[in-house]
Amino acid sequence: MRHNRRAIALLAAFASLLACSPSDAPAAAAHRPGAAGIGDTDFPHDGNGGYDVSHYDLAVDYTPATRRLDGVATIKAGATQGLSSFNLDLVGLHVRQVSVNGSPATFTHQGGELTVRPAEPIDERAAFTVRVHYSGRPQPATSTTNLGTFGFIPTADGAFVASEPNGSKTWFPSNDHPSDKATFAFTITVPAGVTALANGELTGEPTTSDGRTTYRWSERHPMATYLATATMGKFELRKGSTAGGVPNLAAADPRFASSLDKLYRTSGKITDYWATVFGPYPFGSTGGVVDDYAAGYALENQTKPLYGGFEPDEGIIAHELAHQWFGNSLTIRRWKDLWLNEGFATYAEWLWSEHKGAKTADAIFKGHHSRPADDPMWTYPPGRAKPDDLFNQSVYTRGGMTLHALRRAVGDDTFFKLLKSWAADNRYGHVTTEQFIELAERMSGKDLKPLFAAWLYQPRRPA
């Protein structure tokens, strides 16, 4: 009896399958356009949907005198849905030609979105390669609310390239959002005498022919697009390795030549120290670059923090190198969690001060805590960075204070184990604030929700 009913049900299902002729099947619907944004509600146009990049191979030819860039970007990706078309982010440059899997593709380019329609649709889960030939004069991105000028910034002798939060699209086509990390290879050709500094390590000696030099760099660990750099210009270099054995490369514009040795030594010393506090250094090399472009800020470009127009002191070097763990190896999935980068890097400055025997983190914390009750930091909680003011001081300072409040609540032993586990468990991955709170509660055995609520989310000074 039961058997029979099942057999009948199966037969009925089979019959209805047969009744559905191939022309009724929604084959076309299996391939649809990828979304023009990756789904960060604060930055709806950043990144793109429908695919995940695994590797960028960027060949860039740049001439400082004319400011002209010629690029060929070869991007390997995997489709996360069936794709009839998909977008890349690229602003202001002229796209000459696009191919997908070696076949010419049609495309449109407007409003920072390059929409590519491959000759053959791409199946869900298929790997594909898109190649974009482009050229023009890159223009940096400007924002009245987020640190002024960023992206590819032409300078007198080259370019200063610092792209946080979404300036990669000023110099290469990309899925320009930190939730899609990839490995990178760079082939950068510049007039002889100009040095090109990209992320990772040189894969061979630079080669020169016809008065142009080609540098090949490779970053073999996953990297967010905003950390990619191709900083170019006249540079003095110092190469070697840290006492702990991490290859170390420092570079300084001739105007900052007197800073080179200190940059090299301090970067090496701090890289090794952070490895004892946060766990093994995550990348293949460390170092830093001081350029003469007067940005007045620094960016934690992966393996090569970039300092704009000033001699960096130990505090800022400690900050940018701490980002190699917090921000670069562990990367935020959405911008509102930015305190996981900046609060940690700021707290690292305080830890460095404590380590040096200068002010303790506790003394620095107390100094900030005694700021007047109407300080904007108290009314602006750091837990949800605002898209029109991402790099607010609260995200940095009150973010750092959050970690100190946590340290006081769980004790030094648990706190420092937590920092190491956080870095180890999420190495090369993506993180959210919820995950950090969860790990802190698990490792301490304490209910920490009230502490994080007060420090990260409430618009008043925590007690």
Q: Is the Cβ of residue 95 or residue 295 nearer to ligand TRP in the bound state?
A: 295
φ and ψ at 397, to 5 degrees? -80, -50
Q: Is the Cβ of residue 196 or residue 340 nearer to Zn ion in the bound state?
A: 340
Q: Is 309 helix (H, G, I), strand (E, B) or coil?
A: coil
Does 157 bind ligand TRP (CB under 6 A)? Our answer is no
Q: Do residues 149 and 119 lie in contact, with contact meaning Cβ atoms separated by under 8 Å? A: no
Secondary structure, 3-state, 197-211:
EECCEECCCCEEECC
CA distance linking residue 113 with residue 41, whole number of Å: 17
Does 147 bind ligand TRP (CB under 6 A)? Our answer is yes
Which of Zn ion, ligand TRP, none sits in contact with 337, Cβ below 5 to 8 A by type?
none
Q: Please give the torsion angle defined by the CA atoms of residues 179, 184, 190 and 194, in that order, rounded to the nearest 10 degrees.
A: 80
Binding to ligand TRP, residues 277-316 (CB under 6 A): 297-300
User: In the bound complex, what is the minimum distance in angstroms from residue 187's beta carbon to ligand TRP?
Assistant: 24
CA distance linking residue 453 with residue 400, whole number of Å: 15
Q: Is the Cβ of residue 148 or residue 450 nearer to Zn ion in the bound state?
A: 148
Does 253 bind ligand TRP (CB under 6 A)? Our answer is no
Does 53 bind ligand TRP (CB under 6 A)? Our answer is no
Does 337 bind ligand TRP (CB under 6 A)? Our answer is no
**Total residues at the site for ligand TRP (CB under 6 A)?**
12
Q: Do residues 68 and 136 lie in contact, with contact meaning Cβ atoms separated by under 8 Å? A: yes
φ and ψ at 333, to 5 degrees? -85, -25
Does 345 bind Zn ion (CB under 5 A)? Our answer is yes
Does 385 bind Zn ion (CB under 5 A)? Our answer is no
Q: How many CB atoms lie within 10 A of CB 377?
A: 18
Q: Is the Cβ of residue 197 or residue 345 nearer to Zn ion in the bound state?
A: 345
Q: Choose, by CB under 6 A, the member of 342, 364, 382, 430 that binds ligand TRP.
A: 342
Does 349 bind ligand TRP (CB under 6 A)? Our answer is no
CA distance linking residue 113 with residue 442, whole number of Å: 43
Q: Is the Cβ of residue 157 or residue 300 nearer to ligand TRP in the bound state?
A: 300
β-bridge pairing 106-110 and 236-241: unpaired
Which of ligand TRP, Zn ion, none sits in contact with 391, Cβ below 5 to 8 A by type?
ligand TRP
CA distance linking residue 106 with residue 129, whole number of Å: 15
User: In the bound complex, what is the minimum distance in angstroms from residue 139's beta carbon to ligand TRP?
Assistant: 15
In the shown chain, the binding pattern of residues 365 to 394 toward ligand TRP, with x for contact by CB under 6 A and - for none, equals: --------------------------x---
Which of Zn ion, ligand TRP, none sits in contact with 219, Cβ below 5 to 8 A by type?
none
Q: Do residues 212 and 247 lie in contact, with contact meaning Cβ atoms separated by under 8 Å? A: no
Binding to ligand TRP, residues 383-442 (CB under 6 A): 391
β-bridge pairing 430-431 and 331-332: parallel
List, in sequence order, every residue forming a beta bridge with 241; answer none if it has no partner: 247
Does 160 bind ligand TRP (CB under 6 A)? Our answer is no
Enumerate residues 6+ apart whose C-beta is below 8 A from 328.
Answer: 223, 224, 227, 282, 283, 300, 302
User: In the bound complex, what is the minimum distance in angstroms from residue 147's beta carbon to ligand TRP?
Assistant: 4
Q: Choose, by CB under 6 A, the member of 150, 152, 273, 281 that binds ligand TRP.
A: 150
Enumerate residues 6+ apart whose C-beta is below 8 A from 167.
Answer: 140, 141, 150, 151, 152, 226
At which residue do the structure tokens 């057999």 appear?
Answer: 7
| Radius of gyration in angstroms for the set of CA atoms belonging to the chain, rounded to a whole number | 25
Q: Is the Cβ of residue 83 or residue 338 nearer to ligand TRP in the bound state?
A: 338
User: In the bound complex, what is the minimum distance in angstroms from residue 342's beta carbon to ligand TRP?
Assistant: 6
Closest CA to 165 of 429, 385, 428: 385
User: In the bound complex, what is the minimum distance in angstroms from residue 159's beta carbon to ligand TRP?
Assistant: 13
**Total residues at the site for Zn ion (CB under 5 A)?**
2
CA distance linking residue 230 with residue 186, whole number of Å: 8
Which of Zn ion, ligand TRP, none sits in contact with 164, Cβ below 5 to 8 A by type?
ligand TRP
* Binding footprint of Zn ion on the chain (CB under 5 A): 342, 345
* Binding footprint of ligand TRP on the chain (CB under 6 A): 147, 150, 162, 164, 297-300, 319-320, 342, 391
